């Protein structure tokens, strides 16, 4: 059985203390290194807990390497690969979300890329964190690229069924993805249904842009909130992120108390 590594353990510990976490997603394709450095500094000051690096549209090895080098120079927070494909993995990363797009219709995204990527991850010495990745409607770019059959928004029980299947397959995290930059994030009732189905760590991302929706996701049961587009589209990353992260922590602390 895959042992829990340092990064995952650190996530578990922080969750016990804070109740909920915020991860900042950086797509290596979308900006130069000067901007990455700025984002990292401001996001860390705003209280983010880790950086994820990846994207669906050709976030390849060279760009991932440059981006991770910049992040590593700017912070000690963990850098986690959020793989769009096998070439997003570099030895500079601390961990990789070793994920399977369970509701894909194409076996490549369920087990194929994983078979090709497993040895890459081992050789790079990067900690794999086993994760079920579920695309919820509309799903954005990843839904198209990943040949997903996006889970209908009004059918939370389907998301719950996949999440439980992920747990039974040995995955320790489940990521509910609405798609990067979409208008509406994963519905609260979907998060709540998944919370009832599994004790696994629930990560929610896609279209989260304000503190209210971040808070609602945590109250519904999310453990980790991911924002990407928000930090890329706003010059003043700190001002945008700080209120969202503070709301996530507030809702998380309440959970720890109860
Ligand atoms: C995308 O869930 C992440 O894979 C983050 O989405 O870019 O909309 O924040 P946003």
Residue 95's CATH number: 3.20.20.390
Alpha helices by DSSP H, listed for 75-184, are 107, 113-124, 140-145, 156-168
Is residue 130 situated within a structural domain?
yes
The burial of 157, by beta-carbon neighbours within 10 Å (0-12 exposed, 13-18 middle, 19 or more buried), is given as middle
Is residue 146 situated within a structural domain?
yes
257: pLDDT confidence band, cut at 50, 70 and 90?
A: confident
* Segment 166-188, tens digit of pLDDT: 999 999 999 999 999 999 999 99
Domain enclosing residue 12, as ranges: 6-253
Looking from the CA of residue 185, the nearest atom of ligand 1 is 8
What the block records as the tokens of 104 is: 């894909």
Report pLDDT for 1: 87
189: pLDDT confidence band, cut at 50, 70 and 90?
A: very high
Name, in order, each residue with C-beta under 8 angstroms of 141's C-beta and a sequence gap of 6 or more: 56, 57, 179, 180
Name, in order, each residue with C-beta under 8 angstroms of 235's C-beta and a sequence gap of 6 or more: none
Is residue 230 situated within a structural domain?
yes
* Segment 135-160, tens digit of pLDDT: 999 999 999 999 999 999 999 999 99
Is residue 31 situated within a structural domain?
yes
Is residue 1 situated within a structural domain?
no
Is residue 121 situated within a structural domain?
yes
Is residue 258 situated within a structural domain?
no
Hey, whose CA ends up nearest to atom 1 of ligand 1?
180
Does residue 131 have its Cβ closer than 6 Å to ligand 1? no
Report pLDDT for 57: 85
Residue 215: how many CB atoms within 10 A of its CB?
20
CA distances from 204 to 49, 133, 192, 228 (A): 15, 10, 11, 12
Whether the predicted pLDDT of 58 surpasses 90: no
**Best residue for ligand 1 mutational test, from 181, 190, 214 (most atoms within 8 Å of Cβ):** 181
* Segment 117-129, tens digit of pLDDT: 999 999 999 999 9
Q: Count of domains in the chain? A: 1
Question: What global pTM score does this model have?
Answer: 0.98
């Amino acid at each position: 059985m895959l042992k829990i590594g340092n990064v995952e353990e650190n996530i578990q510990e922080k969750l016990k203390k804070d109740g909920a976490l915020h991860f900042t997603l950086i797509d290596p394709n979308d900006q130069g290194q000067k901007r990455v450095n700025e984002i990292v500094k401001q996001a860390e000051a705003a209280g983010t807990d880790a950086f994820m690096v990846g994207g669906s549209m050709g976030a390849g090895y060279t760009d991932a390497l440059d981006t991770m080098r910049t992040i590593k120079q700017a912070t000690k927070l963990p850098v986690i690969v959020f793989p769009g494909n096998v070439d997003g993995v570099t030895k500079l990363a601390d961990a990789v979300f070793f994920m399977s797009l369970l509701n894909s219709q194409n076996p490549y995204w369920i087990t194929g890329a994983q078979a090709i990527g497993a040895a890459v991850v081992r050789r790079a010495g990067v900690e794999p964190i086993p994760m079920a990745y579920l695309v919820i409607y509309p799903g954005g770019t990843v839904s198209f690229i990943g040949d997903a059959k996006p889970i209908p928004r009004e059918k939370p029980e389907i998301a719950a069924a996949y999440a439980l299947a992920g747990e039974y397959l040995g995955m320790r995290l489940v990521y509910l993805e609405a798609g990067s930059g979409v208008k509406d994030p994963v519905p609260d009732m979907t998060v709540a249904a998944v919370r009832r189905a599994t004790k696994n760590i629930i990560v929610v991302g896609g279209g989260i842009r304000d503190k209210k929706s971040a808070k609602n996701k945590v109250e519904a049961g999310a453990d980790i909130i991911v924002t990407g587009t928000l930090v890329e589209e706003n010059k003043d990353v700190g001002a945008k992120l700080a209120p969202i992260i503070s709301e996530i922590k507030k809702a998380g602390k309440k959970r720890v108390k109860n």
